[in-house]
Amino acid sequence: MPQRVVYLYVLDTLADWEPGYALAELNSGRFFRKGAPRLAVKTFALGKDPVTTMGGLRVCPDLSLEEVQVRDGALMVLPGGDTWLEPRHAPVLDKAREFLAAGVPVAAICGATLALAQAGLLDDRPHTSNDLGFLKSLCPAYKGERFYRAQPAVCGGDVISASGAAPLEFATQIIKRLGVFSEEALAAWHDLHKSNDPKHFFELMQAVAPE
């Protein structure tokens, strides 16, 4: 059976740190529970031209948007960036709608939540962002205020959203939604990175030890 794909949208000014925790674990599979399917991470962009991240990294997309196949998708990740409210990203949001219609989750953080809000994709499900006022002031089409949660990261069905200051919580919600870690491993993994307490490393090693 072919690997399912975690599709990462790459765009100029991409906030490098925001998807990092999630991508490292989903691509490596190093702490996956027994029997969890392996995943492949692939980058995509509007075309095949290289993009430059906020940290100055030059990324050559694996795929163009037209090559992204919903049937192969395990997840679409939309990282933050400074240009999300520009009309050129509209085709990506259309693709996100296709993913959601097929029951494939979409995860957005920081600036990407603006785009989802403006596109109406946060109007009827629990979600978060950098701040409610942030969404309301920049997204006049947004009508999801009653579903806003003042939390670092939220899983609202098939949409995972997070503040740009919460990449760890973003990753935790993604991993939980995909079900690739055991509950014990996910708790230990999160607590290790959150607290830097070595005891959680040993809890994680115990949780992933072969039976």
The residue from 60, 110, 139, 155 that is catalytic is: 110
Q: Where are the alpha helices (DSSP H) in the chain?
A: 20-28, 90-101, 111-118, 132-138, 167-178, 183-195, 198-208
| Distances in whole angstroms, Cα of residue 196 to Cα of each of 28, 156, 202, 204 | 21, 29, 12, 13
Q: What is the dihedral of CA 187, 43, 88, 100, to 10 degrees?
A: -50
How long, in residues, is the chain? Answer: 211
Tell me how far apart the alpha carbons of residues 110 and 115 are, in angstroms, rounded to a whole number: 10
* Residue 155: strand, helix, or coil: strand
In contact, 111 and 81? CB cutoff 8 Å:
yes
Quick check: is 60 catalytic? no
Q: Are 113 and 130 in contact (CB under 8 A)?
A: yes
Do 67 and 73 form a contact (C-beta atoms < 8 A)?
Answer: no
- Is residue 73 within 8 A of residue 4, CB to CB? The reply is yes
Looking at this protein, which amino acid is placed at residue 66?
E
Give the active site residues. 110
